[in-house]
A = this chain, B = another copy of it.
Amino acid sequence: MHITHPNKQVSLSRNTFDAFNDWLRANSYSKVFFLVDENTHEYCLIRLLSDLPDLADYEVLEIEAGEESKCHEVLINLYHALAELGADRKSLLVNVGGGVVSDLGGFLAATFKRGIDFINFPTSLLAMVDASVGGKTGINLGVLKNEVGAFAAAKHTYINPVFLETLPKEQLRSGFAEMLKHALIADAEYVRQLSEKLPNALAISDQELERSVEIKSEIVQADFKEGGVRKKLNFGHSIGHALEALHMQMGEPILHGEAVAQGMLVELYLSHKKAGLTKESFLQVRNIICSVFGISPMGFEQKAILEMLGHDKKNEAGRFKFCLLNAIGSAEVDIDITEQEVVDALENYNTYN
């Protein structure tokens, strides 16, 4: 698969290394910098470098794995590292990692000397189907998710399913949450396909990867800066981001997809109550999510969740704005939701336990 639009290119193949080699040959970068974490350094970068015999002048920047690295302290260290290692405007940054690496690295590249080229090699399922596609880059501000960032498209995103082989199961599950979301907001038939695989949802085929990347890319192409239709991709994320932030505040971060799965369950109820999702569809989707992710208590007071929700980037003038499903495979954006409606949905979630 190869998707091209004016701002970005995404390709999915089991042989991305040659394509990257060609890219490097075609572009005369002054220097290549790889951003990795300790895991992707060991499991992914070594492999990538072994396929780049011509690459002589490069540097490796390593961060600690985990969401905590998406912060100003790490970002500032990386700016200094680039400056000290002689990066110039014609340098290339290659992000080899999951969502943390591509979010942080994308923002680093977008803002170092007012912007240098960057390329993504997503190594987690989540990054392949979501984070590394679409040009949303950024870091957290304290516990506020992606509060600081930029829309900046990678010159290329090379998706190679070979990296999935080294992933632990919980990482696959986290990425699956976004795949399910893509299906739910855009493609009822794809929802059916995914649900038919249960309980082996996590055996991800290349075709499924491709379909998710297609959905994401189509939406992003239509609305790069999230003025409208792109907000659909936020289904499950209003509540999901609030939960992630609260977990970070507790010093017990959870995986993005786990938070999104809980968020989708809450927002499913809102979809049923406020956006016309039928009871039958509500129950059907709820069952899919629960069978993959289980049900765990939220562990936070409603007040704390509501307060965190107040920082959601989709809010306008103090009003909560949600993206909800009106049917399986179809979403609606900018739906006004009151505090009381959120409370009702959270209480409904609590009855599942």
Contact = CB atoms under 8 A, between A and B. Distances in A.
A83 interface: yes
Contacts of A144: 83
A316 B148 contact: no
Interface in A90-122: 90, 107, 110-115
Contacts of A147: 79, 83, 112-113
A150 B150 contact: yes
B313 A113 contact: yes
Contacts of A150: 110-111, 114-115, 150
A149 B76 contact: no
Given A83-B144, A114-B146, A138-B114, A313 B151 contact: no
Contact of A316 (B90, B141, B142, B314): B90
Interface residues of A, number: 39
Nearest to A313: B113
Contacts of A25: none
Nearest to A142: B80
Given A79-B147, A80-B142, A114 B313 contact: yes
Contacts of A111: 107, 111, 138, 148-150
Interface of A: 30-31, 72, 76, 79-80, 83, 86, 88-90, 107, 110-115, 136, 138, 141-142, 144, 146-151, 225-226, 310-311, 313-318
